[in-house]
Structure 1
Amino acid sequence: MSAGGEGASLLTCAWSALGEDPAALKRVPPGGEPALTSALNVPRLARDAVAAASLAAALWTDSLLPRGRPRAVHLDAGRIATAFTSERHLRLRGVSPDLWAPLSGFWEAADGWVRTHANYPHHRGRLLAALELATGAGPDELAARIRSAAARDIEHRVYAAGGIAAAVRPAGQGLADWGGPPDAPPLALTRLGPAPARFPGSPDATAAAPLRGLRVLDLTRVIAGPVATRTLALLGADVLRIDSPALPEMPVQHLDTGAGKRTALLDLSLPADERTFRRLLDGAHVVVTGYRPGALDRFGLEPAALAGGRPGIILARLSAWGNTGPWAQRRGFDSIVQAVSGIAMRESPDGVRPGVLPAQALDHAAGYLLAAGVLSALRRQQDEGSTWLLESSLAGIAAGLLQDPRPLLPPLKPGPPTVVVSPDGITTALPALAYDEGPEDWPFPARPWGADPPDWVLEPAAQP
């Protein structure tokens, strides 16, 4: 997978990109590949992403709470499989909710296929407006309109209108149109500027909550970013997710990825809310963003500005297409990246119709990798100081997955799902991350979207 040559594992590449000691990889045991059937090496992708986060957490814990022997990583194939398909195991008082909107999916065009994403109302509205369909149009009308046009034409029209649709590329074409480097590492860690060590660890930290005292400002949506911040919350961080009241999150999706985090709403067009946001930013040790590159720069989140105004902070940025190239400003989701990268046709059931990976694997892998990167950057900061920038993209992970040949293994037998039921009847996946003395479950279930005040649990000390 990218750096390190064809077939190099995601874990090896990510560990190298973070500048970590390869000898630490000996703590990761063999096995742990989940039962996720695919034409690509999705089992190793999932296993390696969880292993990277688990190993980084074990190393951080050892740095705070050393013991006689290093903490080992544990990989449970069943937990990893359930975690990577968590939305399928979600139940609301025994009922499985519908996760895909009627206008999201594959549609046959005049010369191929188009993949649309219309789960959010604003994306649905832009899709219909771009194709000159009525606001109440349904799947039949959308199918007829797409069938009458070329796939690339649909893509261009919808993206120009701010919607999300992509022409499905051939399996062999891969990410040629994306413009990003096919051999890019799955993570990039960059030193932004000098700063003293800022977070040496809390005296209240435990092996099960080694990030206690860390304040994480969560500016993410959908799956990948929320998985990253949920992982940091699992480890004891005070994670506060901020959303705009004008862009509601899908309730089911929020419940699936919101465990252990608090959630508040701020309208940054209002001066009072913007002041609150800047206060939260001043108190954060880590900021995690999941919006398009540049979308949040006006709020003081451009990397150079953040390094100059808040030295010592760690900025972790996740995007669909990366921060360079002609597609950098495009919106995208896991399903769209699968379509554009050629993965959808690699997963075709018959060589004609596009297919899908057995999980939203790009999203989930990106989330665990970003969490691993934050943990690695914390250790670097503890030793070296500095302000750090972490970056990853779904397209970069897709490029690596396409280079990873599927090994000849016997069919994997799925085990029973590993889930937990909260007191209010919400069934969600148990954590996949695991190491000696690590956490067994989330600190608390997902909170209702926007239910919390926009404050840190422990307010930061006043600056001199």
Structure 2
Amino acid sequence: MGRIDEGAVATAFTSERQLRIDGRALTTFAPHSGFWRTLDGWVRTHANYPHHRARLLAALGLPKDASAEQLGKVLSERNSAEVQETAYAAGALAVAVTGPAPTDHQLIEYLEPGASTRRLAPAELPAAGVRVLDLTRVIAGPVATRTLGLLGADVLRIDSPRLPESEDAHADTGFGKRSTRLDLAEPADLDVLRELAATADVVVAGYRPGALDRFGLAPEALPGTIVVQLNAWGWHGPWAGRRGFDSLVQAGCGIAELTGDGTQPGVLPAQALDHGTGYLIAAGVLRGLTERQRTGQAARLRYCLAGTAQWLLTTPAEPTAQAPFDPTPYLVETPSPYGLLRHARSPLGYQGVPGGWQHGPSRWGSDEPIWRA
């Protein structure tokens, strides 16, 4: 029998804010990320990664060492839509704050399943013996695979050595998995990735539509594998190929306007699109494993942050009071190569669920690109 502990869920949904590394708190948003007033409203920028900050500043004609104050001044002299499209053309990230509007984004999109002869041996944990290839970054995808790792899966995360990653972020989402780096521009590394994908039970990919197809990793190229695809803005329409993060989707889908105080936009009390989508993906994978065991069909599932946002905006809910919340009972300590981690425990609650992960995060990119067995 499952049970929901609202305190555990609230703590897990803010895991990046709860994490302490040898007592040090993480910086979740950089100075150039946030809401900025424009001539006709507001925009939200995301510049946590150095290359995104550099692109944003260059797109707006600012020097690479421009301060947040200089950025704010330039944005105040432009229209929101102009900033949004100028940033997009330069590969930067800025989204105009808009009101809610109906969309056709689905919470889960089901594609035609593949055929599989793979079966799992009986085990105590629901994902024991499952090989999960994790091709995701930031929060939503890594939360999904972190959850599958808790439930017994052998999770191997692959990153490119060409893309920077926050090791603090990996310290939060790297529990229960291993991490390696492969350069897909190198034929030998690409061969390794293809072999890992071909022998995986599950592939979770968090890139824009078509980004991995040219490497032979399209769902139809992996017929016996459960394939989950995740992006920010959905799989159809003019925004499908755009980069995005939770904070930007909140701005572009109407959540920022609805949670504002009348003078400026607001945010949800957690990056709920990321975390919520992550747990939905984990649940979808578990259902997919069950269906593969029963029918021999390997599921093809698609998720997007905008779909989760649309579901939140259109699902009736009773208003609740915002009571003070103490996360302390839901925090535990785990040693790691990064130092002593004080972190949120898993919110999963059912009879027999592990009390915690078998191991904390390894250092980002430090493991061998092989399955455990």
Q: Does 1:235 align with 2:151?
A: yes
Q: SS where residue 226 of structure 1 aligns?
A: helix
- 2:333 alignment partner, one of 421, 432, 452: 421
Relative to structure 1, the CA distance from residue 160 to residue 213 in structure 2 (aligned partners, 3 Å threshold; closer, same or farther) is same
Q: Tell me by how many angstroms 1:248 deviates.
A: 2.0
For 1:187-214, what per-residue CA distance to the aligned partner results, in whole angstroms no more than 9, with x for missing partners? 1233333x24412x235x22xx331211
Q: Does 1:289 align with 2:205?
A: yes
Does the 8 Å CA contact 1:258/1:447 hold for their aligned counterparts? yes
Structure 1: gaps of 5 or more residues: 1-71, 459-464
Matched residue type, 1:240:
L
Q: TM-score, normalised by structure 1?
A: 0.77
For 1:213-261, what per-residue CA distance to the aligned partner results, in whole angstroms no more than 9, with x for missing partners? 1100000000000000111101010000000011121111111111000
- 1:103 alignment partner, one of 18, 32, 37: 32
For 1:42-61, what per-residue CA distance to the aligned partner results, in whole angstroms no more than 9, with x for missing partners? xxxxxxxxxxxxxxxxxxxx
Q: Does 1:115 align with 2:35?
A: no
Distance in 2, matches of 1:235 and 1:278, equals 25
Does the 8 Å CA contact 1:112/1:151 hold for their aligned counterparts? yes
Which aligned pairs between 1:138-157 and structure 2 lie closer than 5 A?
138-157=67-86
Q: How many percent identity over aligned positions?
A: 51
Does the 8 Å CA contact 2:288/2:298 hold for their aligned counterparts? no
- 1:323 alignment partner, one of 217, 235, 241: 235
- 2:104 alignment partner, one of 166, 175, 181: 181
Does the 8 Å CA contact 2:143/2:173 hold for their aligned counterparts? yes
Q: Does 1:430 align with 2:353?
A: no
Q: Tell me by how many angstroms 1:434 deviates.
A: 1.8
Q: TM-score, normalised by structure 2?
A: 0.96
Q: Does 1:299 align with 2:215?
A: yes
The match for 2:306 is 395
Distance in 2, matches of 1:413 and 1:104, equals 27
For 1:76-102, what per-residue CA distance to the aligned partner results, in whole angstroms no more than 9, with x for missing partners? 111111000111111011121222111
- 1:256 alignment partner, one of 172, 191, 199: 172
Q: Tell me by how many angstroms 1:299 deviates.
A: 1.3
Q: Tell me by how many angstroms 1:413 deviates.
A: 4.2
Does the 8 Å CA contact 2:232/2:304 hold for their aligned counterparts? yes
Structure 2: gaps of 5 or more residues: none
Matched residue type, 1:343:
I
Matched residue type, 1:392:
Y
Q: SS where residue 448 of structure 1 aligns?
A: coil
Which aligned pairs between 1:24-63 and structure 2 lie closer than 5 A?
none
Does the 8 Å CA contact 2:16/2:26 hold for their aligned counterparts? no
Distance in 1, matches of 2:320 and 2:55, equals 44
Matched residue type, 2:98:
R
The match for 1:44 is none
As a proportion of its length, which structure holds more strand?
2
The match for 2:118 is 198
For 1:135-179, what per-residue CA distance to the aligned partner results, in whole angstroms no more than 9, with x for missing partners? 111101111111111000000000011111001113xxx246xxx
Distance in 1, matches of 2:321 and 2:357, equals 34
Distance in 2, matches of 1:113 and 1:81, equals 28
Distance in 1, matches of 2:149 and 2:40, equals 46
Distance in 1, matches of 2:77 and 2:64, equals 19
- 1:367 alignment partner, one of 266, 270, 278: 278
Tell me how many residue pairs correspond in the alignment: 369
The match for 1:45 is none
Matched residue type, 2:307:
G
Which aligned pairs between 1:163-174 and structure 2 lie closer than 5 A?
163-170=92-99, 174=100
Q: SS where residue 345 of structure 1 aligns?
A: helix
Relative to structure 1, the CA distance from residue 411 to residue 339 in structure 2 (aligned partners, 3 Å threshold; closer, same or farther) is closer
Distance in 2, matches of 1:259 and 1:364, equals 15
The match for 1:266 is 182
Q: SS where residue 107 of structure 1 aligns?
A: strand
Q: Tell me by how many angstroms 1:108 deviates.
A: 0.7
Matched residue type, 2:26:
P
Distance in 2, matches of 1:363 and 1:443, equals 24
Matched residue type, 2:288:
A
The match for 1:217 is 133
Distance in 1, matches of 2:131 and 2:50, equals 32
Distance in 2, matches of 1:134 and 1:257, equals 33
For 1:370-409, what per-residue CA distance to the aligned partner results, in whole angstroms no more than 9, with x for missing partners? 1100111111111111232011111011111111344144
Distance in 2, matches of 1:408 and 1:365, equals 19
Does the 8 Å CA contact 1:231/1:371 hold for their aligned counterparts? yes
Q: Tell me by how many angstroms 1:301 deviates.
A: 1.9
Which aligned pairs between 1:302-313 and structure 2 lie closer than 5 A?
302-304=218-220, 306=221, 310-313=222-225
Does the 8 Å CA contact 1:164/1:332 hold for their aligned counterparts? yes
Q: Does 1:136 align with 2:62?
A: no
Distance in 1, matches of 2:275 and 2:19, equals 16
- 2:258 alignment partner, one of 329, 340, 346: 346
Matched residue type, 1:188:
E
Runs (4+) of structure 1 moved beyond 3 Å? 408-413
The match for 1:440 is 355
Q: SS where residue 25 of structure 2 aligns?
A: coil
